[in-house]
Amino acid sequence: MVLCDCQKAQDEVEGLLKTAEMLALKGDTQGQRDQIIGELMRVHTRFQARVSEYHTLLNMAVKFFQDLAKVSRLVHLPII
Protein backbone atom coordinates (compact mmCIF):
# COMPACT_ATOMS: atom_id res chain seq x y z
CA MET A 1 0.00 0.00 0.00
CA VAL A 2 2.77 2.44 0.89
CA LEU A 3 4.64 1.57 -2.29
CA CYS A 4 1.48 2.26 -4.33
CA ASP A 5 1.18 5.70 -2.72
CA CYS A 6 4.84 6.39 -3.43
CA GLN A 7 4.44 5.37 -7.06
CA LYS A 8 1.36 7.62 -7.41
CA ALA A 9 3.27 10.58 -5.98
CA GLN A 10 6.25 9.89 -8.23
CA ASP A 11 3.97 9.67 -11.28
CA GLU A 12 2.33 12.95 -10.29
CA VAL A 13 5.67 14.79 -10.02
CA GLU A 14 6.76 13.40 -13.38
CA GLY A 15 3.43 14.53 -14.86
CA LEU A 16 3.99 18.02 -13.48
CA LEU A 17 7.45 18.11 -15.05
CA LYS A 18 5.98 17.18 -18.43
CA THR A 19 3.23 19.78 -18.05
CA ALA A 20 5.79 22.48 -17.23
CA GLU A 21 7.80 21.56 -20.29
CA MET A 22 4.67 21.59 -22.51
CA LEU A 23 3.59 25.00 -21.20
CA ALA A 24 7.03 26.41 -21.91
CA LEU A 25 6.70 25.41 -25.55
CA LYS A 26 3.47 27.44 -25.86
CA GLY A 27 4.97 30.80 -25.00
CA ASP A 28 7.51 32.96 -23.26
CA THR A 29 7.70 32.18 -19.57
CA GLN A 30 10.31 34.85 -18.83
CA GLY A 31 12.67 32.33 -17.21
CA GLN A 32 10.04 30.88 -14.92
CA ARG A 33 10.04 27.61 -16.86
CA ASP A 34 13.60 26.79 -15.89
CA GLN A 35 12.96 27.76 -12.29
CA ILE A 36 9.82 25.61 -12.05
CA ILE A 37 11.42 22.62 -13.76
CA GLY A 38 14.51 22.94 -11.57
CA GLU A 39 12.40 22.97 -8.41
CA LEU A 40 10.32 20.02 -9.60
CA MET A 41 13.50 18.09 -10.37
CA ARG A 42 14.87 18.81 -6.88
CA VAL A 43 11.59 17.69 -5.29
CA HIS A 44 11.55 14.57 -7.43
CA THR A 45 15.14 13.71 -6.48
CA ARG A 46 14.48 14.25 -2.76
CA PHE A 47 11.32 12.17 -3.01
CA GLN A 48 13.16 9.29 -4.68
CA ALA A 49 15.86 9.39 -2.00
CA ARG A 50 13.24 9.40 0.76
CA VAL A 51 11.40 6.44 -0.82
CA SER A 52 14.69 4.55 -0.99
CA GLU A 53 15.39 5.30 2.69
CA TYR A 54 11.91 4.15 3.73
CA HIS A 55 12.28 1.00 1.65
CA THR A 56 15.56 0.20 3.42
CA LEU A 57 14.01 0.94 6.81
CA LEU A 58 11.03 -1.28 6.03
CA ASN A 59 13.32 -4.15 4.99
CA MET A 60 15.31 -3.75 8.20
CA ALA A 61 12.12 -3.82 10.30
CA VAL A 62 10.89 -6.96 8.54
CA LYS A 63 14.24 -8.68 9.13
CA PHE A 64 14.24 -7.59 12.80
CA PHE A 65 10.80 -9.07 13.46
CA GLN A 66 11.66 -12.27 11.57
CA ASP A 67 14.76 -12.67 13.74
CA LEU A 68 12.74 -11.84 16.87
CA ALA A 69 10.21 -14.55 15.99
CA LYS A 70 13.07 -17.02 15.40
CA VAL A 71 14.60 -16.24 18.81
CA SER A 72 11.20 -16.61 20.43
CA ARG A 73 10.73 -20.06 18.88
CA LEU A 74 14.22 -21.13 19.99
CA VAL A 75 13.62 -19.96 23.55
CA HIS A 76 10.45 -22.04 23.79
CA LEU A 77 12.06 -25.31 22.53
CA PRO A 78 12.03 -28.10 25.13
CA ILE A 79 15.39 -28.97 26.71
CA ILE A 80 16.39 -32.62 26.19
pTM to 2 decimals? 0.60
Comparing 26 with 41, which gets the higher pLDDT? 41
Mean per-residue pLDDT, 44-70:
92
31-48 tens-digit pLDDT: 777 787 788 889 889 988
Whole-Å CA distances, 22 to 6, 55, 79: 24, 33, 71
Question: What's the mean per-residue pLDDT of the chain?
Answer: 82
Q: Would the pLDDT of 66 be above 90? A: yes
Distance of alpha carbon 26 from alpha carbon 34, whole angstroms: 14
Q: Would the pLDDT of 71 be above 70? A: yes
